[in-house]
Amino acid sequence: MRHYDVVVIGAGSGNMVIDGSLAGLDVAIVEERLFGGTCLNFGCIPSKMLAYAAEVAGIVRDADRYDVDAELRRVRWTDLRDRVFARLDAEEAEGRAGRERSDFVTVYPGHARFVGAKTLEIDVDGESVTIEADQIVIAAGGRPTVPPPVEESGLPYETSDTIMRIDSPPRRLAVLGGGYVAAELAHVFAAAGAEIVIVEQAELLLGQQDEAVAKAFTDLMRERYELRLGRELKKVEGGPGALRLVLDDGSVVEADTLLVAVGRTPNSAGLDLEKAGIKTSDDGRVVVDEFQRTSVDGVYALGDICTPYPLKHVANREAEVVAHNLRYPDDLRATDHSVVPAAVFTDPQIASVGATEQECREAGKDYVAASHQYGDVAYGWAMEDTTGFCKVLADRATGRLLGAHIMGPQAATLIQPLVVAMTLDIDARTLAEQPYWIHPALTEVISNALQNLDLPSN
């Protein structure tokens, strides 16, 4: 049995744990799919590269409102897809090759499962290899959730893992789910020419967003897509290319392609964690403490397999914490999840940080809320924007920011000053009045929203 100092399961953010500081150790990394994980190969990066092309298409399509004569002929899907994945596939190959060239890292291309507290069995090309380690990092990620009516139908479907590589856009794409993956990929394929119908159990799209954002976004999407909200999928009928989705009210959605985007599931089930005594929560996430330690001494976890925030920037931060704690077990660092921003790269963009208004209300907080429209600042005039806004929430007594929510162009960038303020505990009045805010930049929508808060004067 081969012994290692450190073994990492998963080469997404888990690969970040291995740096030059481990060069004096014997290290192994196990990856059954692709280096770079979901983000590089199936998620954040390809979807945003495609979404930016969709944004460009939208600008051309709407050029007339800016007195510019332009015509959108089409999105060249195959060329776009090939450009995106030629670059990303090369990045994946180089990431793998770089590790394979390392003189202190062994790469195992296979599936790992625990057979003891710190012992792993790896299936490598049909052969079983058993290894043990002093310290193990579980970073095996997650996968798209597929509900029983889809799985049991035996009919073809796509997930975020597969749909971005299809050969041609669907004629009519049925999207099952109303979250951020559904919103982003609907945006991409609508720009590519697909007719979109979204089936969602909730009454609003992006229901986890602030209520003002979710309602405004849903109203906008009603103008673009066919929405079947408050409906549950009961079964899938028909045949390949001619699918029939039967809903709980008896209605039927017809489509040539089905995209399943109802959430993600941690990849814990296939790791035989119980044989190592590693605890999991009811939803399958590996239980970790603030130091990313599991219930077994010397075993850590990070990323989608354990975190309550399945976001790449969270996984990267957790990887930094684990990398430190592996080297310095007597000087542990904790992961701070108190201020975690997120963004949805659809049209319009959406970004958020902190609490929603409904969460503040349900928690009984004494808060104030204020908004400002893009169309009420000078750069918003330039953009002819009529739907974007920034909403901020603060503690009534202290002015401490509780949450911020932006819907509109550049939202994912505009949210950052609010993230910094919440992280450094800068109150709303100080943030609004102390820094200069460039005029007439779009950031004025933030400063004005802050100034609109009904806070006690100093």
Strand partners, 406: 351, 390
CATH code at 380?
A: 3.30.390.30
Amino acid (1-letter code) at residue 112: A
**How many C-beta atoms lie closer than 10 Å to residue 242's C-beta?**
11
What DSSP character marks residue 387? S
Clarify whether residues 202 and 79 are in a common domain: no
- Whether the CB-CB separation of 200 and 171 falls below 8 Å is answered with no
Residue 226 resides in a domain: yes
**Do 54 and 193 contact (CB within 8 A), yes or no?**
no
pLDDT for 454: 95
Look at residue 11 and tell me if it is in a domain: yes
Q: What is the percent of the chain where pLDDT is above 90?
A: 97
Phi, psi of 273 (to 5 degrees): -65, -30
pTM exceeds 0.75 = yes
Q: How many domains is the chain partitioned into structurally?
A: 3
Question: Is the pLDDT at 406 greater than 90, yes or no?
Answer: yes
* Rounded Cα distance, 335 and 318, in Å: 6
Burial class (CB within 10 angstroms; exposed 0-12, middle 13-18, buried 19+) of 280: buried
pLDDT in tens, 221-236: 999 999 999 999 999 9
Catalytically annotated residues: 439
What's the mean pLDDT when you consider all of the chain? Answer: 97
Q: Identify whether residues 8 and 137 lie together within a single domain.
A: yes
In a domain, 456, yes or no: no
SS (H, E, C) 63-90: HHHHCCCCCCCCCCHHHHHHHHHHHHHH
pLDDT at position 232 is: 97
Residue 340 in domain: no
**Does residue 133 sit in the same domain as residue 272?**
yes
The CA R_g of the chain, rounded to the nearest whole Å, is: 24
Residue 254 lies in a domain: yes
Q: What are phi and psi of 36, to 5 degrees?
A: 100, -15
Reported as a single tens digit per residue, the pLDDT across 174-227 is: 999 999 999 999 999 999 999 999 999 999 999 999 999 999 999 999 999 999
- Are both 130 and 186 inside the same structural domain? no
Dihedral of the alpha carbons of 267, 270, 274, 279, in degrees to the nearest 10: 0
In-domain check, residue 337? no
The contacts found for 240-248 with CB under 8 angstroms, 24 or more apart, are 240/155, 240/156, 243/155, 243/174, 245/174, 245/176, 245/199, 247/199
pLDDT score for 53:
98
Regarding whether 376 and 323 lie in a shared domain, the answer is no
Determine the pLDDT at residue 458.
58
Question: Which of 273, 294, 327 lies at the terminal end of a domain, its last residue?
Answer: 327
Domain co-membership, 108 together with 125: yes
* Cβ(406)–Cβ(390) below 8 Å: yes
Give the domain CATH number at 209. Answer: 3.50.50.60
**Per the structure block, which two tokens stand in for 163?**
């749909």
DSSP per-residue codes, 245-267: EEETTS-EEEESEEEE-S-EEET
Residue 1 pLDDT class (50, 70, 90 cuts): confident
Residues 374, 416: one domain?
A: yes
Using a pLDDT cut of 70, give the percent of the chain over it.
100
The pLDDT tens digits for 100-159 are 999 999 999 999 999 998 999 999 988 999 999 999 999 999 999 999 999 999 999 999
Strand-pair partners of 111: 123
Are 15 and 135 found together in one domain? yes
Cα(8)–Cα(17) distance, rounded to whole angstroms? 8
Answer yes or no: are the C-beta atoms of 392 and 344 closer than 8 Å. Answer: no
Same domain, 14 and 107: yes
Considering the domain architecture, whether residues 97 and 29 belong to the same structural domain is answered as: yes
Same domain for 356 and 322 = no
Q: Which of 399, 412, 421 is nearest to 342 (CA)?
A: 412
Q: 441 is in which domain, residue-wise? A: 348-451
Residue 401 within a domain: yes
247-287: per-residue pLDDT in tens?
A: 999 999 999 999 999 999 999 999 999 999 999 999 999 99
Token digits of residue 338: 């108190």
Residue 348 preceded by cis peptide, ω within 30: yes
Same domain, 30 and 90: yes
Q: Is the dihedral of CA 200, 201, 204, 206 positive or negative?
A: negative
Name the one residue in this structure whose structure tokens are 């192994």.
28
Query: 10 Å Cβ neighbour count for 417?
Result: 18
Q: Within a domain: residue 338?
A: no
In angstroms, rounded to a whole number, what is the distance separating the alpha carbons of residues 442 and 89?
36
Query: What would the DSSP string read from start to end of 150-200?
Result: HHTT----B-TTTGGG-SS--SEEEEE--SHHHHHHHHHHHHTT-EEEEEE
Domain boundary among 241, 262, 283: 262
Cis peptide bond N-terminal to 156, omega within 30:
no
Residue 112: closest CA among 125, 103, 123: 123
- Residue-level pLDDT at 166: 98
Query: What pLDDT is recorded for position 317?
Result: 97
